[in-house]
Amino acid sequence: MSPTRRDGLAGLGGATLAYAFQVGCSRTETIDYANFPAPEKKERQDGRPNYPGVDHRDWLLISSDGTVSAFTARTEMGQGLTTVMYNLLSQALELPDERIRVVLGDTELCPEDGPTTGSAATHYFAWNFWRACHEIKKDLVLLAAEATGLPSEDLEYRAGEIVSRSDSAQRIGIGDLANGQVRRMNLAADDSSVRPPAYIDKGTLSVHAEAIVTGTLQFTGDLTVEGCLYGGLLIPPYHHHMTRLLDKKLNKARKVPDIVDVRRKWWTVAAIGRTYSSVQKALATVEAEWEVPDRPVELDNEREIRSGAVLKQVMDRKGDVDAGLRRSGLVVSESYITQYGSQFPMQTDTAVAKVEPGRTTVWVGSQSPFLARYNTAVAMHQPESEVHVVGLPMGGGFGAKAGHIVASEAANLAEMSGTPVKYVYSRKEEVQHRNRYKESVVIDISSGLTPDGRLLARKMDIFQDEGHGTEELYNIPEVLTLRHAAKMPFKHGTMRGTSYVQTCFAVESHTDMVAEAIGMDPLVFRKRNVLLRAFSPLIDSCAEMMRYGKYQPPDDHGVGFGIINHGGRQLGVVGAEVSVDRASGEIKVVRLCGAYDIGVVINRNTARMGIRGAMLWGLGYALLEEVQLDGHSCHTTGFSSYRIPRFSDTPPIEVAFLDNQHPGAPRGCGEMPLPATLAAICNAVYNAIGVRFRAIPMTPERVLAALREGLS
């Protein structure tokens, strides 16, 4: 019998004192343990749960042994969230790491919440913990006054104790205040009066560092559960078509050593075996004929996207854009298209499931454990209360692990097998069939200008199924942004950078073309038109790092810049220098520099790691990455047919942090450097060879073709 949430909390060490906190309410109250927490889950129209995402409820628990545990549904994806949490709690509560415990993504221990996406975890969740700790210290002083009879004005919090100012011999440990209560704390929505940490970063190492370098950190695939067998499903050769299996012969599969069971299951064949290899072998022997999907993918990707697109959403409207464009002395109109991308986390999607009467447990590296719980409950025809999802280190997510099919499949296979089952997707299975690709997006953009280089009007038509909005970069009086959606023949989903990647590529490529059309330096043009003044010092800092204007790049080298405003809270300016080999068509990024405003940096090591990684993802989008779809089939099967950035692609990368927009709150950084780097590289290529690529990636074949045709 696994512990209940209540047991789990109590089991952390004798009596406890729990704080539940959330943002945006005004009352403070002590709540009933039995009803804690009461999830304010709302049903969406499609019957799936909706996590409003505004209250970001989290818990902090003080145990009688004086340890402090933090609980949140957010998950560790390798972005360093656990380390950030230790750093914050350690500083806020003046405690050593040994007295801190961080529990992420366990649906029985952690408060119900939405997925870990959009570089939001540090901004919302870590910052709220920081704020809550300061309120909790005040509350602990009041509890200590009650417990000791000393006047609260005389008491203060010091490193895990409440100490009398007048007589420091009078003190009580926070563990001694653990009285079984649960106290709910409401943090004001307006955090402008909150004192930010002066500086948190002490260059501390990742808390997982030693486990990672010794191979002892347990990822989902490394978990062993007694009696566990491997499970797997036969996957059709067509991307995301769950079509009918027309014929199958299972005898050969059943004779594979270590195979326990092979049978028809759902739309396909399931195999259960004692080893990963036996399952793969058995599935490979099945002679299957598949129904061919009735609608092939249009080979001309742009036509596919434009055809049948219907206006879905007015994303932004200011003034009268047509009048604005008519008034403009100069109008520049362009069109851009991006590729399909795939996340390629190093660990493929993996889950372990154990089914007992009235109880299903799934261990999975999921970006959204509560959605995994919901999906598993639906698949198992069980109430959510009977499903326990335990989040484990996932070996990279990048948006790929927000879907949770593997969790419910493992549970269904465990039920079928009567034993616990581990399901490890093969790379081909993950990439070809399970993956939700980053959407290919077409963007038409027209800008009108005054003769002195001010943007007057902009019309954008974005052909994209899922719109997440775009943050306006420039101050433009007349704006119209429309989203047109076409029905895609295959599934698409979240991937690092969301739709900022596609729009930033188009807008920032276009910005350089517009600046050139009126003969203005691209950085001068940006400074003249940028919406947020906070960009100016970032532009200056990045230009300085690139020695822009003081440095003459060699022949066939070029320098370019891109800027990004992610969610209004993360700002970045990236500069790139590239070299282009006109004979081979190969583009090499020579160096990258990024200036960022992301609020206070909690851990410089993990922040730089994340930012450099995101910049290299920008390089990948610009030059390397593209899912190959053709007719019914996906020709991308693994790393050999999808180039991700490597050591030899990696240029020197310089990173500078500036904090000037609204100093204080940490605001996250995992996605925002990506789109700006992509745009900077495209602009640098234009600067080098005078060719403007409307489509990415800029592969050697495309570069050679463009040079031959003299495209510009």
Partner 1 sequence: MAKNRYSLNVNGQRRQVEAEPDEPLLWVLRDFLGLTGTKFACGEGECGACSVLIDGDEYPSCQVSVEDVAGGEEIVTIEGLGKPGELSPVQKAFMDYTAFGCGYCTPGMIIAATALLRSNPHPTRDQIIAAMDHHLCRCATYPNVLVAIESLAGSSDEEDN
Q: Which chain residues interact with partner 1 by CB under 8 A?
A: 77-80, 205-206, 208-219, 221-222, 224, 257, 274-277, 343-348, 393-396, 398, 424, 426-427, 605-606, 608-610, 612-614, 616-617, 638-640, 644-648, 650, 652-653
CB of 70 to partner 1, least distance (A): 20
Q: In angstroms, what CA-CA distances link 152 with 140, 170, 179, 468, 665?
A: 10, 13, 18, 49, 29
CB of 465 to partner 1, least distance (A): 25
CB of 593 to partner 1, least distance (A): 12
Closer CB to partner 1, residue 171 or residue 208?
208
CB of 425 to partner 1, least distance (A): 10
Contact 580, 587 (CB under 8 A): yes
Instruction: Identify the three-state secondary structure at position 664.
Output: coil
Closer CB to partner 1, residue 447 or residue 636?
636
Rounded CA gap, 80 and 205, in Å? 10
Taking only Cα atoms into account, the Rg of the chain, rounded to an integer number of angstroms, comes to 27
Closer CB to partner 1, residue 661 or residue 677?
677
Closer CB to partner 1, residue 211 or residue 524?
211
Closer CB to partner 1, residue 212 or residue 531?
212
CB of 80 to partner 1, least distance (A): 8
Place of tokens 């989203």: 483
Rounded CA gap, 630 and 360, in Å? 40
CB of 21 to partner 1, least distance (A): 29
Nearest to 177 by CA among 33, 15, 68: 15
Q: In angstroms, what CA-CA distances link 573 with 25, 78, 562, 566, 647?
A: 36, 24, 6, 12, 24
CB of 259 to partner 1, least distance (A): 12
Closer CB to partner 1, residue 653 or residue 665?
653
Rounded CA gap, 162 and 159, in Å? 8
CB of 267 to partner 1, least distance (A): 24
Closer CB to partner 1, residue 210 or residue 322?
210
Nearest to 203 by CA among 596, 601, 612, 572: 601
CB of 427 to partner 1, least distance (A): 5
Contact 482, 461 (CB under 8 A): yes
Cis-peptide, bond into residue 357, ω within 30° of zero: no
Rounded CA gap, 370 and 111, in Å? 9
CB of 348 to partner 1, least distance (A): 7
Pairing of strands 478-485, 387-391: unpaired
CB of 345 to partner 1, least distance (A): 6
Contact 100, 68 (CB under 8 A): yes
Give me the count of residues in the chain: 712
Instruction: List Cβ neighbours of 640 (8 Å cut-off, separation of 6 or more).
Output: none
CB of 455 to partner 1, least distance (A): 34
Rounded CA gap, 87 and 704, in Å? 50
Closer CB to partner 1, residue 654 or residue 659?
654
Closer CB to partner 1, residue 33 or residue 219?
219
Rounded CA gap, 407 and 539, in Å? 45
Buried b (16+ CB within 10 A) or exposed e, 11-23: ebbebbbbbbbbb
CB of 601 to partner 1, least distance (A): 14
CB of 588 to partner 1, least distance (A): 13
Instruction: Name beta bridge partners: 530.
Output: 474
Rounded CA gap, 243 and 397, in Å? 27
Structure tokens at 346: 């190093």
Rounded CA gap, 694 and 237, in Å? 31
Closer CB to partner 1, residue 274 or residue 318?
274
Place of tokens 């594979």: 256
Closer CB to partner 1, residue 394 or residue 539?
394
Buried b (16+ CB within 10 A) or exposed e, 523-541: bebbebbbebebbebbbbb
Q: In angstroms, what CA-CA distances link 69 with 8, 59, 85, 493?
A: 12, 8, 10, 34
> Which residue type occupies 612?
R
Closer CB to partner 1, residue 133 or residue 593?
593
Structure tokens at 321: 């854009």
Closer CB to partner 1, residue 26 or residue 640?
640
CB of 214 to partner 1, least distance (A): 5
H or E stretch at 443: strand 442-449
Closer CB to partner 1, residue 337 or residue 574?
574
